[in-house]
Structure 1
Amino acid sequence: MQDQTEMLATALPHYRTGEIPDEVRMVAKSSLLDWIGVSLAAAHSDPMRGLRDVLNPAAVPGNATLIGGGSTSPMLAARLNGTAGHVLDFDDVLSSFGHPTVPVLPAALALAEVHGASGDALLRAFIGGIETESRVSDMVGARHYEVGFHSTATLGIFGAAAASAMLLGLDHEQTVTTLSLASISSSGLKSAFGSWGKSLQVGHAAAEGLIAAQLAQAGATGPGTRLDGTQGYLRTHRVPGDPTIVADQLAAPSDDWRTLGMLFKYHASCYGTHSSIESLRRLRGEAGDADVRAIRLGVSSRHIGMCDQTNARTELQGKFSLAFTSGLAWVRGSAGEADFHPSSMSDAQVQDMAARVQVLEDPARPFSTTEVEVELNDGRTLTSAIDMTIPAPMSELQDQWGRLEQKFRSLTEPLLEVAVVDALVDAVRNVDDLGSATELTAALAAAGAALTPSH
């Protein structure tokens, strides 16, 4: 009988050559467009300047395109581009996992480019990586995240490894080795939230997943216990008592495509803040001219330690603060990237409103929905609870693309000529028809070259 690592590896040939529904492809393209937009917007941020200064990618020859300009080795491109995609914390989400695209796509894109893979092969590898990391998430259970692991990094490395194995054409045993090697490089802690560390550990996952596949191709051996053996990954990273996964859930999907559960961010903050932001944006219209006495947020235990930072003063702290994002939502009616500019962080009105927010933990409350109460000085109390974990139905995927294209343009058009932005949108929309992924990376390279380092 195959162990769980072998079952994950057995599923990958289906993603490489089997039928992938059009709606799954559509969501994957949406994620690709979204990732490029948030990455370009962060290309010359402080974390990226610091990482480039330390790694000096220009000194390492290679043909893998870097977000923000230049090229380097696939490993460094995966690390740098993986970090860039998470700096703004504006990238997509799977509610049971974390941020699925950002550890996978940078590794897949780097290898697809340097090995001349088709656009379809790139898209398939990306989807295979998403499906794999989601199933590893099932294997470790929900409390892996709750005890302090940053699952986007700790589990995303398996998505990066799977996508890389697909693009390198590894056989079954090499793929098993790839996943086993990835398990020993898995790392990431929630204690990094609100700092550079959160995005740096995601870049690490992208790079190490890629390296695991390259090492397996070169003949490396991995832990004999694999993921589910004695002293293996599941024994050390899974909290005892979490439900065990059934074997059928690790197989290639027939109808259980995890990619279809993708959620997209339209606010530039931790996804745990989005339910309260949406409720407050709606309730502020009902309040009229009445002043706010208090805002009470009933949140799940998962929110605590994730996005409950108080007295936020920096951009990254603000993005992980229910209080600050609630202040933004009420005072400005928005929580876009510009709302976390240093001038916003010192906005007296926003900070005053943030000080009126009370975060109340309710262990019985689901993560999906924050209960919002706004107590007004005229005696009224307004309430709302909006579920932010419902993905777009298949009938609305084109509308979702349209909204994401608007987000993409709002992030990139202030930085780039419209023609450059148009070329990127067209390349992503038609990625599975591209004879070579280099047609996409050429458009990405042109965008990077046009960005100014002062951004």
Structure 2
Amino acid sequence: MTTEAVGGVGGGPDLTSWLAGSAAAYTFDRIPPDVLLIAKSCVLDWLGVALAGSRDPVSRVLAETVAAPVAGSAGSTLLGRAGRARVVEAARVNGTAGHVLDYDDVLTAFDGHPTAPVLPAVLAVAEAEGASGRDVLTALVAGIETETRINRAVAPSHYRIGFHTTASVGTFGAAAATARLLGLGPDATAHALGLAATSAAGLKSAFGSWGKSLQVGRAAAEGALAALLARRDATGPADGLGCAQGFAATHADAVDAAAAMTPVGEPWYLRELLFKFHASCYGTHSSIEALLRLRPRLAVSSIADIELGISPQHVGMCTKPLVGTPLDAKFSLEYTAALALLLGRADEGVFTDEVIARDDLRRLAGRVRTRVDPGGTLTRTEVRVTCTDGTLLEEAVDVGVPAAPDRLGQQRDRLTGKFHGLAAPVVGAGRAAEIASLVSELDGLDRIGRLTALTREPAGGLGG
């Protein structure tokens, strides 16, 4: 391993202490209006995805296995379910539900899904603590900004080696966010991060299996637990992130601590956040978008060949030419390309056993080839469609460009439509509308329990 900077920079605090002090310094008043709007969009988007994900077998089996019910108003809400569970168990179950559909937001600087490990930890603890909407938003921002800075220290080798950043580095995001929610000072927050370092893990080899979402739920739970223990004077390893045998040294080929040690707001990484409008691995979105643009100009029956110019990052992540399940298909450039051309959509409704088994879809997926461009990026794909008469159609789309400040409202409106489509089948259209309204005014909500109560399964089902 090579080390560009480990521990203190210029004789200052070590990496963990510096990040702990930074995380403890976030306040609601320091969050710019545009970053606040993005944070609210993160909450709305994740709630919709998690509510829909609560119906997935992975979430159901996990809840039945680990979430022992608690009486009365104790514990925290299990999204989409009637019962409640102890705080850490709720964070685990909800964290899994929020990632199981692979429909949650992404951040390139984080190399993963930033809200997925952080928000379920924050909501579970906030509900139990009677925290406000402002508290939740501040904690969420602190968690996402902190985990992204940590990833900057270990990128790009951490992800390239095979670690699933959302689950591994996300554990620190959940710990930092929960510590901020609990009002822990820098020293206790450093211990929370140190404890998180002992359980921060996750493997890309889990992609396409239950393990991918389960390890994100674990990250939320372990991060929350680390902060809750630190509040009660638990200690973690000194500089668990930057010490000689700490997380960075053992989980990356090179460490650049200076890249992580940037002041609050320099930059605001949330401004780079991207939302998903297709229910598949983000690496498939640029090709989906490009093919959707081409679709009105060709007939599926005339397609002879489809070539996707992909990046090295795509390889092993979403290059699954042979799929047997809808979950496999979400990580298949071939199948998502075929869905875009054949059905004109790649939302959750088309990732079913019936659709994936269609002969016409499988035949079209078989015409898709990938070509690796060594200089390519994960967010941009060049698409070439050759027709049987020799006609060549080309398109390229980069989905890695975040919404400009003047388009954040339009983005929120699109996310609201996505949210209703995901949440209404679980909690009903009326409750979904109430949730969306509360999230839009989250900074004025006195107790987050008013929001989480709406995410529980209605008594008697949707008809009750």
Residues 1:307 and 2:318 aligned together: yes
The Cα of 1:185 is off from its aligned counterpart by: 0.3
Cα separation, 2, equivalents of 1:283 and 1:149: 35
SS at 1:96's partner residue? helix
Structure 2 stretches lacking a partner, 5+ long: 1-11
The Cα of 1:245 is off from its aligned counterpart by: 4.4
Aligned to 1:347: 358
Aligned to 2:77: 65
* Contact 1:262/1:391 (<8 A) preserved: yes
SS at 2:313's partner residue? helix
Aligned to 1:163: 177
The Cα of 1:305 is off from its aligned counterpart by: 0.9
Aligned to 1:202: 216
In the superposition, the TM-score normalised over structure 1's length comes to 0.95
The Cα of 1:220 is off from its aligned counterpart by: 1.6
Quick one: which amino acid aligns to residue 5 of structure 1? Answer: T
The Cα of 1:448 is off from its aligned counterpart by: 5.6
Residues 1:426 and 2:437 aligned together: yes
Residues 1:359 and 2:373 aligned together: no
Cα separation, 1, equivalents of 2:195 and 2:379: 34
Measured against aligned partners, the alpha-carbon deviations of 1:87-110 in whole angstroms (never above 9, x if no partner) come to 110000002220010100001001
> In the alignment, which of 144, 162, 171 is matched to residue 158 of structure 2?
144
> In the alignment, which of 382, 390, 393 is matched to residue 371 of structure 1?
382
Cα separation, 1, equivalents of 2:460 and 2:285: 33
SS at 2:369's partner residue? strand
SS at 2:264's partner residue? coil
Structure 1 segment 384-395 matched on structure 2, within 5 A: 384-395=395-406
Aligned to 2:250: 236
Quick one: which amino acid aligns to residue 109 of structure 1? Answer: L
Measured against aligned partners, the alpha-carbon deviations of 1:162-204 in whole angstroms (never above 9, x if no partner) come to 0110111112111101101101101100111111110000000
Aligned to 2:30: 19
The Cα of 1:363 is off from its aligned counterpart by: 1.6
Measured against aligned partners, the alpha-carbon deviations of 1:424-446 in whole angstroms (never above 9, x if no partner) come to 1111111110111112112223x
Aligned to 1:28: 39
**Change in CA separation of 1:279 and 1:174 when aligned onto 2, cut-off 3 Å:** same
Residues 1:47 and 2:58 aligned together: yes
* Contact 2:26/2:264 (<8 A) preserved: no
Structure 1 stretches lacking a partner, 5+ long: none
Residues 1:320 and 2:331 aligned together: yes
Cα separation, 2, equivalents of 1:136 and 1:94: 13
**Change in CA separation of 1:204 and 1:118 when aligned onto 2, cut-off 3 Å:** same
The Cα of 1:289 is off from its aligned counterpart by: 6.7
* Contact 1:16/1:166 (<8 A) preserved: no
SS at 2:307's partner residue? strand
**Change in CA separation of 1:431 and 1:17 when aligned onto 2, cut-off 3 Å:** closer
The Cα of 1:17 is off from its aligned counterpart by: 5.0
- Bigger CA drift: 354-363 or 263-272? 354-363
Cα separation, 2, equivalents of 1:354 and 1:32: 35
The Cα of 1:14 is off from its aligned counterpart by: 2.8
In the superposition, the TM-score normalised over structure 2's length comes to 0.93
Cα separation, 1, equivalents of 2:165 and 2:214: 13
* Contact 2:207/2:317 (<8 A) preserved: yes
Quick one: which amino acid aligns to residue 236 of structure 2? Answer: G
Structure 1 segment 153-302 matched on structure 2, within 5 A: 153-240=167-254, 244-246=256-258, 249-288=260-299, 291-302=302-313
The Cα of 1:347 is off from its aligned counterpart by: 1.1
Cα separation, 2, equivalents of 1:277 and 1:448: 36
**Change in CA separation of 1:382 and 1:370 when aligned onto 2, cut-off 3 Å:** same
> In the alignment, which of 85, 101, 104 is matched to residue 98 of structure 2?
85
Cα separation, 1, equivalents of 2:198 and 2:181: 22
Structure 1 segment 378-417 matched on structure 2, within 5 A: 378-417=389-428
**Change in CA separation of 1:450 and 1:375 when aligned onto 2, cut-off 3 Å:** farther
Q: CA RMSD in A?
A: 1.7
The Cα of 1:251 is off from its aligned counterpart by: 3.7
Cα separation, 1, equivalents of 2:426 and 2:199: 36
Structure 1 runs (4+) deviating above 4 angstroms are 447-452
Cα separation, 1, equivalents of 2:275 and 2:375: 26
Q: Provide the aligned length of Structure 1 versus Structure 2.
A: 449
* Contact 2:28/2:134 (<8 A) preserved: no
